[in-house]
Chain A
Amino acid sequence: MRWIIASFTIIVIIVLASALMTIERSRLPAEIKFASSDVFTLDPQRMSYMQDLRISRSLFDGLCSHDSQTGLPTPGVASSWETSPDGKTWTFHLRPDARWTNGDPVTSVDFRNAWRRLLLPDTAADYSELLFPVQGARQFFAWRTNALTQYAAGKNHDAESANALWQLTLSTFDQLVGIRTPDPQTLVVELESPVPYWLDLCAFQTLAPIHQASLDKFTKIDPASGLLKSDPGWTKPGVLITNGPMKLVDWKYKRVMRLESNELYVGPNTPLATSVEVIPIEDANTAVLAYESGSIDWISDLTAEFRADLAESSRKWLDRHREEYELRIGAGASEDEALAALPAPDPALGERRDVHVLSAFGTDFWSFNCRALLSNGKVNPFADARVRRAFTLAVDKVRLTTSVTRLNEKVATTLVPRGSIDGYVSPAGLPFDISRAREEMAKAGWIDRTGDGIVENADGEPFPIVDMLYMTGNPRVKNIAIALASMWRDALGVNCELRGKDGKFAKEDLRRGNFMIARGGWYGDYADPTTFLDLAKTGNGNNDRAFSNARFDAMLEQAALELDPAKRFEILENAERLLVEEELPILPLCQYVTLYMYDPAKMRGIIRSPRLDQRLSLLRRVNEQSESSSP
């Protein structure tokens, strides 16, 4: 028996010791704590995930920023700028008082260095293409790629030759790429052709500056490949040097990240929050429980399966006080101020005020495979635009959003979210019209000739079973798929088969064209219709449908050359009309929504403009008592 007790004691000692080792040193609780998806990187040039960009927006200030109400570009580190008459040359004037967290001034060279880094294939950055409109940028990317290939094939693989290649790369960049720094406060950028949304790109976080000297300590040139390799250490707290309104003070992998206001900060985004903690909670139900118990203040993406019920509770409460709410909004209160001033929800009636359904800058759609043949060699019925139109006309989108997703999303008939881009008028798109859908099917030769409820072609062959591909793991997607299948069966007389696959495998099927109809969706990157319309361009990497239409491609090219913004939008509108009224490579369902959970009487600073580009530095805690007693 002794050994049992002995080994048991040993285990207990180890447990206590390791528990002690991992205990957090106590410090002041953060002003705001919020639940987020896992953060991948704080390296601005390598970012692509929304949650990373959200944190970066408070750590790094770019040339431009976004207005929190309108979403339009506003000054950032650049206090002013001018553009040449041909729209190709941009001159930015930087604030002289902008500082890095170590006290160094932020200069135009910091931007050039960051942009060069974004354009180096060595950085392995997702968003390098954002800078491809810059004169010579794409050429430089190709030059470096080619130089590295030659280096790898060559004989000399020592530190000296690798360094020589790097020096050559630096001088080639200066020669080829239209980015110049005449003085520390001036940045001149030359574009290949005018880019109407260029300022919006300058506000995108992957174009944020970097503090080269601190990065250099973690970078070396690999003699074997000639590649620049960065050690992951440079984004850690205490090492990372930033220029935004907040600074990084703690980051434990998938455990916690803490940002505090940056006292050296001078600029347009003055921080209101003193400290913000980001807590990754993967389990959606746990996140709700943590919110309910008060350990977090904001759930930045409410995905719990019962979220539609939660949203319903908030809607019920707001509906009861709609009149007072409208009055307060009319009197100039912000949405959150108005919500906080309403009478508190009555839990007995199942009411709450903390679930917010906000429209996002993205479209939920399904893709039609536009290839002539399916991946198994059979004829693809969806290669015929009439069939695609029929399937689109037969979908009752209002029923989808009210009784399937139950989130009352804005129904979409276009690819670009309607009203999301200033000055752009969306085409009408196709309505819900079953008889017109049947006509389109008949025109394509699909008629129920045998009276069995299934349509057949002229040879008497029934419509092939529709192969519907969707990604598993999200009940919303599956529910929509089931509803679509039943709508098509009832309206058009076709049988559908659902095929759920895990994300990576589904993506592989999409790439190979192994589907008839597949779940899709897209979030825009910048405020221009092309961020969506490019999806339908021939050969685009995200054109999973393999849609190819010469007229559409020509219109996009024509728009790229058009200098008058109004005319350009008109061309793009016509291009989109071709997509959503005639060709229909995609079937738009609704505008995406993001669900936030926060109590407006306790926390403020959430941005409700369609991009939902939240700034952590604007979040702040408000006192419930003083708010509710105010008139």
Chain B
Amino acid sequence: MTSFIIRRLLQLPLVLFAVVVVTFALIWLIPGNPMLQEGRQPPQEIVDAMNRQYQLDSPVRFFGGYLARVTGAGWVMGWNDAPFDLGPSMRNPDWTVNEIIGAGFPISATIGLGAIAIALVIGTIAGLVGGLRPGSWLDAGTQLIALIGISVPSFVTGSFLIVLFAAKFRVFPIAGWGTPAHAFLPMLTLSLPFAAYIARLLRFGLVEQMTTDHLRTARAKGLSRRQAAWRHALKNAFLPVLSFLGPATAVAMTGSFVVEKVFAVPGLGRHFVDAVLGKDITLVMGVVLVYAVLLIVLNLVVDVLYAWIDPRINLTSEGSR
């Protein structure tokens, strides 16, 4: 197991390098200049000066300088003051990318983790209700709600929750960030699609498990339906949920643009979309790097957890997933 983890971690820099190269190529090809407003074009000499100051005049120099700064090579050589410097934001000259990610990520991560926690509670309960009584009206009801949860976009649920709980009943603040009360509605909005997905995965997992031979044996030995489900089926039925949770947590933590926009939450998702629209090259690459690290690490965690729950899975052999 240890060698597996080490091997995966060693792959990390290679994957990150590939991600950075592809991201850079894509964002560089978008037309336009991040330094300029959309409606206004200063004289050419001023545009040239801006391009020179931010090395926008040469992709090779830009990318070379960027790699040296980000990897810490420039710091080792004494060119830069600090290692792992993601550079200045091009659209927001008063902020570095490190500062922006440092400000936005904890907020997105809070909402994301909270949403996953809420989703786990709601999803597990709904999945159990349906899975233990397949075909009942309770099952049909939870499945219907889950279907709605998956299909209704967050800007609809978000706006609905604001109007209901913030504007009408005034239980929660409408928008912004600062108190735990600000976090609840965004968390709930973000959790609903995840909860619905978890409910469906768990419900179908349970139904499938209940018909397996070892469950039938357990029932034959005198366990009640509920006992059998709880002791033997649930663990296996949870495996698909677990593999879903890895990427889902990564997605939730990196911030949902829609939820953050609707609730005016200054999270990373919003900063990322603003950066792409404004062609803020350094900010886009910085956020993509954070996303990539998070996704890789969380997938690794899930793989390890998998092996722990299901000893039949052997991580050291090829094609282990």
Residues of A with C-beta under 8 A to B35: 124, 126
Residues of A with C-beta under 8 A to B48: 121, 145
Residues of A with C-beta under 8 A to B308: 3
Query: With an 8 A cutoff between CB atoms, is A331 at the interface?
Result: no
> Is B264's CB under 8 angstroms from A286's CB?
yes
Interface residues of A in 212-270 (CB under 8 A from B): 224, 227, 232, 235-236, 252-256
Residues of A with C-beta under 8 A to B46: 121, 125-126, 128-129, 141
* Contact stretch, chosen from B1-9, B93-101, B129-137, B215-223: B93-101
Query: With an 8 A cutoff between CB atoms, is B281 at the interface?
Result: no
> Is A124's CB under 8 angstroms from B54's CB?
yes
> Is B93's CB under 8 angstroms from A41's CB?
yes
Interface residues of B in 31-70 (CB under 8 A from A): 31-32, 35-50, 52-54
> Is B264's CB under 8 angstroms from A280's CB?
yes
> Is A293's CB under 8 angstroms from B94's CB?
no
> Is B180's CB under 8 angstroms from A19's CB?
yes
Partner pick for A542 among B40, B49, B89, B91, CB 8 A cutoff: B40
The smallest beta-carbon distance between A39 and chain B, in angstroms, is 9
The docked-state distance in angstroms from the alpha carbon of A18 to that of B108 is 10
> Is A285's CB under 8 angstroms from B159's CB?
yes
0 or 1 for each of B74-114: is its CB under 8 Å from A? (1 = yes): 00000100000000110111111001100110110110011
Query: With an 8 A cutoff between CB atoms, is A323 at the interface?
Result: no
> Is B103's CB under 8 angstroms from A15's CB?
no
Residues of A with C-beta under 8 A to B162: 286, 289
Query: With an 8 A cutoff between CB atoms, is A612 at the interface?
Result: no
The smallest beta-carbon distance between A119 and chain B, in angstroms, is 10
> Is B175's CB under 8 angstroms from A255's CB?
no
> Is B104's CB under 8 angstroms from A289's CB?
no
The docked-state distance in angstroms from the alpha carbon of A256 to that of B107 is 14
Partner pick for B238 among A4, A252, A253, CB 8 A cutoff: A4
Secondary structure of the B contact surface, majority rule: helix
Partner pick for B174 among A121, A235, A255, A295, CB 8 A cutoff: A295
0 or 1 for each of A42-65: is its CB under 8 Å from B? (1 = yes): 110010110000000000000000
Which single residue of chain A is at the shortest CB-CB distance from B235? A1
* Contact stretch, chosen from B10-18, B206-214, B266-274, B288-296: B266-274
0 or 1 for each of A277-303: is its CB under 8 Å from B? (1 = yes): 001111101110110110100000000
0 or 1 for each of A11-45: is its CB under 8 Å from B? (1 = yes): 11011001101111000000000000010111100
> Is B270's CB under 8 angstroms from A43's CB?
no
Q: Which of B176, B178, B230, B234 has the most CB of A within 10 A?
A: B176
> Is B110's CB under 8 angstroms from A507's CB?
no
Which single residue of chain A is at the shortest CB-CB distance from B173? A295
> Is B110's CB under 8 angstroms from A18's CB?
yes
> Is A43's CB under 8 angstroms from B178's CB?
no
Which single residue of chain B is at the shortest CB-CB distance from A222? B79
Query: With an 8 A cutoff between CB atoms, is A379 at the interface?
Result: no
Q: Assuming the A-B contacts A252-B103, A255-B177, are A541 and B43 also in contact, with contact meaning beta carbons closer than 8 angstroms in the complex?
A: yes
> Is A255's CB under 8 angstroms from B103's CB?
yes
> Is B37's CB under 8 angstroms from A48's CB?
yes
Partner pick for A148 among B52, B54, B175, B271, CB 8 A cutoff: B52
Which single residue of chain B is at the shortest CB-CB distance from A286? B175
Residues of B with C-beta under 8 A to A11: 113, 116-117, 120
Query: With an 8 A cutoff between CB atoms, is B30 at the interface?
Result: yes
Residues of B with C-beta under 8 A to A197: none
Residues of A with C-beta under 8 A to B32: 503-505, 507-508
Residues of B with C-beta under 8 A to A4: 124, 238
The docked-state distance in angstroms from the alpha carbon of A325 to that of B121 is 59
> Is B163's CB under 8 angstroms from A289's CB?
yes
Residues of B with C-beta under 8 A to A141: 45-46, 49
Which single residue of chain A is at the shortest CB-CB distance from B184? A19
The smallest beta-carbon distance between A603 and chain B, in angstroms, is 19
Query: With an 8 A cutoff between CB atoms, is A610 at the interface?
Result: no
Query: With an 8 A cutoff between CB atoms, is B309 at the interface?
Result: yes
Query: With an 8 A cutoff between CB atoms, is A142 at the interface?
Result: yes
> Is A43's CB under 8 angstroms from B93's CB?
yes
Query: With an 8 A cutoff between CB atoms, is B144 at the interface?
Result: no
The docked-state distance in angstroms from the alpha carbon of A3 to that of B305 is 10
Query: With an 8 A cutoff between CB atoms, is A562 at the interface?
Result: no
The docked-state distance in angstroms from the alpha carbon of A293 to that of B230 is 47
The smallest beta-carbon distance between A213 and chain B, in angstroms, is 19
Interface residues of B in 171-201 (CB under 8 A from A): 173-180, 183
Residues of B with C-beta under 8 A to A38: 274
Residues of B with C-beta under 8 A to A8: 117, 120-121
The docked-state distance in angstroms from the alpha carbon of A1 to that of B231 is 9
> Is A126's CB under 8 angstroms from B93's CB?
no
The docked-state distance in angstroms from the alpha carbon of A14 to that of B117 is 11
Query: With an 8 A cutoff between CB atoms, is A166 at the interface?
Result: no
Q: Assuming the A-B contacts A21-B106, A24-B178, A280-B264, are A227 and B37 also in contact, with contact meaning beta carbons closer than 8 angstroms in the complex?
A: no
The docked-state distance in angstroms from the alpha carbon of A26 to that of B236 is 48
> Is B53's CB under 8 angstroms from A253's CB?
no
Interface residues of A in 98-157 (CB under 8 A from B): 121-129, 141-142, 145, 148
Query: With an 8 A cutoff between CB atoms, is A521 at the interface?
Result: yes
Query: With an 8 A cutoff between CB atoms, is A522 at the interface?
Result: yes
Q: Assuming the A-B contacts A22-B110, A227-B53, A504-B32, are A127 and B93 also in contact, with contact meaning beta carbons closer than 8 angstroms in the complex?
A: no
The smallest beta-carbon distance between A256 and chain B, in angstroms, is 8
> Is B93's CB under 8 angstroms from A15's CB?
no
Partner pick for A121 among B53, B124, B261, CB 8 A cutoff: B53
The docked-state distance in angstroms from the alpha carbon of A12 to that of B40 is 48
Residues of B with C-beta under 8 A to A18: 106, 109-110, 113
The docked-state distance in angstroms from the alpha carbon of A252 to that of B308 is 42
The smallest beta-carbon distance between A38 and chain B, in angstroms, is 7
Residues of A with C-beta under 8 A to B117: 8, 11-12, 15
> Is B53's CB under 8 angstroms from A126's CB?
no
Which single residue of chain A is at the shortest CB-CB distance from B155? A283
Residues of B with C-beta under 8 A to A224: 79
Partner pick for A23 among B113, B180, B262, CB 8 A cutoff: B180
The smallest beta-carbon distance between B111 and chain A, in angstroms, is 9
The smallest beta-carbon distance between B283 and chain A, in angstroms, is 11
> Is B113's CB under 8 angstroms from A253's CB?
no
0 or 1 for each of A486-521: is its CB under 8 Å from B? (1 = yes): 000000000000000011110110000000000001
Query: With an 8 A cutoff between CB atoms, is B166 at the interface?
Result: yes
The docked-state distance in angstroms from the alpha carbon of A12 to that of B39 is 47
Pairs across A and B, CB under 8 Å, 18 listed: A1-B230, A11-B117, A18-B110, A23-B179, A23-B180, A24-B178, A40-B94, A41-B92, A129-B43, A129-B46, A141-B46, A254-B271, A255-B103, A281-B176, A283-B261, A289-B163, A290-B174, A542-B41
Interface residues of A (CB under 8 A from B): 1, 3-4, 8, 11-12, 14-15, 18-19, 21-24, 38, 40-43, 46, 48-49, 121-129, 141-142, 145, 148, 224, 227, 232, 235-236, 252-256, 279-283, 285-287, 289-290, 292-293, 295, 471, 502-505, 507-508, 521-523, 541-542
Nearest first, the 10 closest Cβ-Cβ pairs linking A and B are A121-B49, A504-B32, A508-B31, A24-B178, A541-B41, A255-B266, A124-B50, A124-B53, A254-B266, A281-B264
17 more A-B contacts (CB under 8 A) besides A224-B79, A254-B271?
A23-B178, A40-B93, A121-B46, A122-B53, A126-B40, A129-B43, A142-B45, A232-B94, A279-B176, A281-B175, A283-B175, A283-B264, A286-B263, A290-B176, A290-B264, A505-B31, A541-B47
